Amino acid sequence: MAEELKKERKLIVFQLDREEYGIPVEQVQSIEKMQQITRVPRTKSFIKGVLNMRGVITPVADLRSRFGIEEVPADEQTRMIIVTLEDKEIGFIVDAANDVADISEDSIEPPPEAAGSVSAEYILGVVKIGNRLITLLDLKAVLEEEPEADLDKAKA
């Protein structure tokens, strides 16, 4: 039991607006500069389209749009983090990919009641590293449908 508590975890740390977020490094395939995205009709509003990544058609989601943060034009710092979820690749557009952080599992705290601009349902927890506060995202939850809203749209 004691060994499990001291388990180390590596996170890819990225930025959205002025907040820092982390995702497990083992989910990340690559971090890419912005590329041309082909729009796809009738997709969720936060899905910006698809791109061909080394022969694999990869959907691309804008995390600013998903979290209701004002969208801004891509710049030199903008990155796409390509992750694997349930054997599928998906790209997430972020403002910047900052670094890799080592954390211990027991340093993860439950999400605060008011977690800034991101809904608590997308948050696994938070980690303090020095004076930084990094929010750990549940990427599966980020991609899941909002059942009520999407069903209403589908019926309309």
Examine the pLDDT at 112 and tell me if it is beyond 80: no
Examine the pLDDT at 5 and tell me if it is beyond 90: no
Stretch 8-18: mean pLDDT: 93
pLDDT-derived band at 6 (thresholds 50, 70, 90) equals: low
Looking at per-residue confidence, does 80 or 5 come out higher? 80
Q: How far apart are CA 105 and CA 14, in angstroms?
A: 19
Number of C-beta neighbours around residue 145 at 10 A: 11
- Among 100, 58, 101, smallest CA distance to 80 is for 58
Kindly report the backbone phi and psi dihedral angles of residue 31, in degrees, each rounded to the nearest multiple of 5, phi listed first.
Answer: -120, 120
Q: Chain centroid to CA 141: how far?
A: 10
Return the bridge partners of 20, or none. Answer: 15, 134
- Write out pLDDT tens, residues 24-83: 999 999 999 999 999 999 888 899 999 998 898 999 999 999 988 998 999 999 999 999
Examine the pLDDT at 115 and tell me if it is beyond 60: no
pLDDT at 116: 55
Alpha helices per DSSP H over the chain? 2-5, 63-66, 139-143, 147-155
Examine the pLDDT at 149 and tell me if it is beyond 70: no
Instruction: For the chain, list the domains and their CATH numbers.
Output: 2-144 (2.40.50.180)
Stretch 18-24: mean pLDDT: 94
- For the entire predicted model, the pTM comes to 0.84
Return the bridge partners of 100, or none. Answer: 12
Which two structure tokens, joined as six digits, stand for 37?
């995205």
